[in-house]
Structure 1
Amino acid sequence: MAAVDLPAEISSLRSTYRAVREVSDVDALKATVAKLTEQASASDLWDDVDNAQAVTSKLSHAQSELERLEKMGARIDDLETLVEMADEAANEGDAATAAETREEAERELVSLRKALSELEVRTLLSGEYDQREALVTIRAEAGGVDAADFAEMLLRMYLRWAERHGHKAEVMDTSYAEEAGIKSATMAVHAPYAYGTLSVEQGTHRLVRISPFDNQGRRQTSFAGVEVLPVTEETDHIEIPENDLRVDVFRSSGPGGQSVNTTDSAVRLTHIPTGIVVSCQNEKSQLQNKAAALRVLQARLLVKAREERQAELDALKGDDSGSWGNQMRSYVLNPYQMVKDLRTEHEVGNPASVFDGEIDDFLESGIRWRRQRERASEN
């Protein structure tokens, strides 16, 4: 195997890092941290709890982003120092130390490439709502009980992904299927750029396996749909007149219909003009569930308005490319093991790791693929 040209690799890393810093606008990020730090130190900050939580959360994430960028530069410097140490050991005739140090440098190079690639992908998230937190809804589609079970597997996959990254995630509403799995579930991911990152997951997911629910052990194909929405903010100005809403209350329930709440605290909202229906049952009170359901409804109306604007633009420029969101990934457990993205062609041979939340490579390839499509469309 040819030796790795470490100086050339370091030069390439520095070039990519400079581009990432430029796009990330480090000076603007530092100004944001300073501004939020000043707001967070105000004596009356906690007079408005919601605003205080928003300010401290934004400050924490901005500081974390700035720290990631600064640490990346330091790590590249440290890698260069390691290479110099290996060269010095070799020049002094200490072959063992030189080899050991070089191996350490090559391991760090692999780690740095991955970390820098993640930073680079973040710079591609420049859409209107990409910086927002995300609402992810998973629905069982064709395939009966296998589809319901598959939908629950996807819900766990996204929860595990959020956990791996230290993102706070909460399930806001779950509708359980009769035999196994779920009919649908909505979860919120509270992290910057969660929408931009997870929006590439939107579409139809397909599972092929020997059905655990078929007593004849036949292979079954089932489908689940994933919808990803940006969380609305105060600046969105989405007003919903009370006359446009129908509010129904009911008791929360768990698997098998077992009551998990003895009061009518669950809330279902129907937006009469559009027919959009959302529900929430995971909060403790009816008011909390109504507020949570209203946030989901506002998010859906926000995306609907954006899609209508985009449709008008597409009609004007004759865009007939269609939606990229459908039929986006296949999970095959039999007769072989593979998970493949049908848009990017990225695939792995370990479905178990994917279902355990290891989907970063799929997210990265999806974001790069989408950006290429956007650039092609612009041209």
Structure 2
Amino acid sequence: MLAAVAYQTGVGGRVPLADVAGIDPIEEINELAGTLKGIQDVLDLDAMRKQLNELGEQAAAPDLWNDPEQAQKVTSRLSHLQGELNRVEGLVRRLDDLGVLYELAQAEDDEETREEALRELAALSRDIGALEVRTLLSGEYDSREALVTINSQAGGVDAADWAQMLLRMYLRWAERKGFSTEVYETSYAEEAGIKSATFTVKAPYAYGTLRGEHGTHRLVRISPFDNQGRRQTSFAGVDIVPVVEQTDHIDINEDELRVDVYRSSGPGGQGVNTTDSAVRITHLPTGIVVSCQNERSQLQNKATAMVVLQAKLLERKRQEEADKMSELRGESTTSWGTQIRNYVLHPYQIVKDLRTSVEAGNPSAVLDGDLDEFIEAEIRWTRRREQGLTDD
């Protein structure tokens, strides 16, 4: 159990107490120290250091890159763990330095130093709160990489354009976080935008971090495709599933698959294939369709498409089991396919999450990948929902 966090909880999120009038900074520094100690206990830093040593030995093995896929996993996990450890240790140092700084300001009655300490206190409150979110990612698949699919929905050419905007938003978010991504398939619309796209976010805990983005995203704006300049509402769906691992048992009968090959589509350029190397696989019992066209080899595209199909079947199985348990408990289930967030560009500008009520008045920044505030609030909301602490 984590220590009490020095926050004031509101509908849209949590406000550092350093931003609330009448709160004693020393009291909050002590609260933050307790919270950070609780986080360290949950993360188990000794176990992290031990795992880092083991991964370091694996990464140093001369035959590591004989298996490029396994090598990528080892180096990615090593980098992620080292980053997490550095993050925690850095916060500990900052909190220690802050205590000294504030005591100095008080002893010398130095208002300028006191203001500097309060600014750092507010920043530390936010950073420790963000780290605490990581401790909430304890679901069965939360530590997995994420497979993301974006589909245009109602809204015609505007919806296709909106789907492409969302694709860019998530790729920019991953780039900001230093996460590698790989686009497996992009189906371009005729006039503008995309019909669909599928990509992976190759980072530990990517699925747990992003799973709250699953649902329908709504855009309201003046359509750039309407010569009369009318306002248009467009919809796009985002699907997030965990990437499969070797320990997963997903049996797929080849007789239940329809495999089609076709020429890769694209806006043009040297990267567009001139052979029928793209692969589309339809799982007949469920109707799930997956495609891959990022490789030049038909065999490679088929192998990647099978990985995507396994991930979607795994998520389908997980959801069916969750629905069954909810039914046995007499609980109602809420469809993930519901509208979760509005992006309004006209007549005013705002992005608002319909579950957490988090708002941002700068849609351009959000569409450029500034999603952390929304994602952290989703993780907290999801955990409360799973614990039965929300009204949903």
| 1:185-230 deviation line (CA, Å, top 9, x unaligned) | 1111111111011100000111111111111211111111000011
Residue 18 in structure 1 maps to residue 37 in structure 2: yes
Match of 1:313 in 2: 325
Q: What is the aligned partner in structure 1 of residue 95 from structure 2? A: 76
Structure number having the greater helix percentage = 1
Matched, 1:245 2:245: no
> How far has the Cα of 1:287 moved from its partner?
2.1
**Matched residues in 1 for 2:236 and 2:61: separation?**
47
Q: Which position in structure 2 is the counterpart of 1:365?
A: 377
Change (3 A) 1:377 1:309: farther
Query: Structure 1 residue 350: deviation in Å?
Result: 1.2
Corresponding position: 1:177 with 2:189: yes
Name the structure 2 match of 1:111: 123
- In structure 2, the CA distance between the partners of 1:260 and 1:41, relative to structure 1 (3 Å rule), is closer
Partner of 1:279: 291
Correspondence for 2:240 among 199, 213, 228: 228
Once the 2 structures are TM-superposed, how far is the Cα of residue 18 of structure 1 from its aligned partner?
1.4
Select which of 230, 233, 239 maps to 1:218: 230
Q: Which residue of 1 aligns with 2:24?
A: 5
Residues 45-69 of structure 1, C-alpha deviations (whole Å, 9 max, x = no match): 3443332332222222122212211
d(CA) in 1 for partners of 2:170, 2:200: 10
Equivalent-residue separation in structure 2 for 1:210 and 1:258 (angstroms): 34
Question: Cα gap change, 1:63/1:239 in structure 2, threshold over 3 Å: closer, same or farther?
Answer: same
Name the counterpart of 2:316. 304
CA separation in 1, counterparts of 2:259 and 2:171?
Answer: 29
Counterparts of 2:223 and 2:106, CA distance in 1: 58
Q: CA–CA distance in 2 between the matches of 1:99 and 1:65?
A: 35
Q: Shift in Å at residue 298 of structure 1? A: 0.7
**Any gaps of 5 or more consecutive residues in structure 1?**
91-97
- Tell me which of 83, 87, 90 is aligned to 2:106: 87
Partner amino acid, structure 2, of 1:72: L
Which amino acid in the other structure matches residue 71 of structure 2? A
**Partners of 1:253 and 1:259 within 8 A in 2:** no
CA offsets 1:245-289 (integer angstroms, 9 cap, x no match): 222111112138998211111111111222211001122222221
Q: What is the one-letter code of the residue matched to 1:171?
A: V
Cα distance between partner residues in 2 of 1:202 and 1:369: 14
Query: Percent of counterpart pairs with the same letter?
Result: 63
User: Per the alignment, do residues 3 and 369 of structure 1 end up closer, same or farther by CA in structure 2, a change over 3 Å counting?
Assistant: closer
Contact 2:323/2:333 (8 A) holds in 1: no
Aligned to 1:33: 52
Conserved? CA contact 1:149–1:182, under 8 Å: yes
TM-score (normalizing by structure 2): 0.89
Q: Does 1:330 align with 2:342?
A: yes
Q: Tell me the equivalent position of 2:176.
A: 164
Bigger drift between 175-184 and 305-314 goes to 305-314
**CA distances 1:51-106 after superposition (whole Å, capped 9, x unpaired):** 2332222222122212211221111111112112323433xxxxxxx233222222
Structure 1 segment 97-176 matched on structure 2, within 5 A: 98-176=110-188
- CA gap of 1:50–1:321, structure 2 versus 1, over 3 A, is closer
The 3 A distance-change label for structure 1 pair 121 and 259 is: closer
8 Å CA contact 1:203–1:325 kept in 2: the answer is yes
How far did 1:43 drift?
A: 4.5
Aligned residues: 372
1:339 and 2:351 correspond: yes
Shift of 1:2: 5.2
Q: What's the offset of the Cα at 1:238?
A: 2.1
CA distance in 2, matches of 1:319, 1:243: 37
Go from structure 1 to structure 2 and tell me whether the alpha carbon gap of 1:126 and 1:326 turns closer, same or farther (over 3 Å shift): same
Partner of 2:274: 262
Between stretches 311-320 and 341-350, larger displacement belongs to 311-320
Counterpart contact for 1:252–1:261, Cα < 8 Å: yes
Match of 1:94 in 2: none
Greater mean alpha carbon deviation, residues 33-42 or residues 354-363: 33-42
Given the alignment of the two structures, is residue 198 of structure 1 paired with residue 210 of structure 2, yes or no? Answer: yes
TM-score, normalized by length of structure 1? 0.92
Structure 2 CA distance, aligned partners of 1:2 and 1:187?
45
Q: CA–CA distance in 1 between the matches of 2:274 and 2:140? A: 42
Q: Which residue of 1 aligns with 2:8?
A: none
* Contact 1:177–1:255 (Cα < 8 Å) also in 2: no
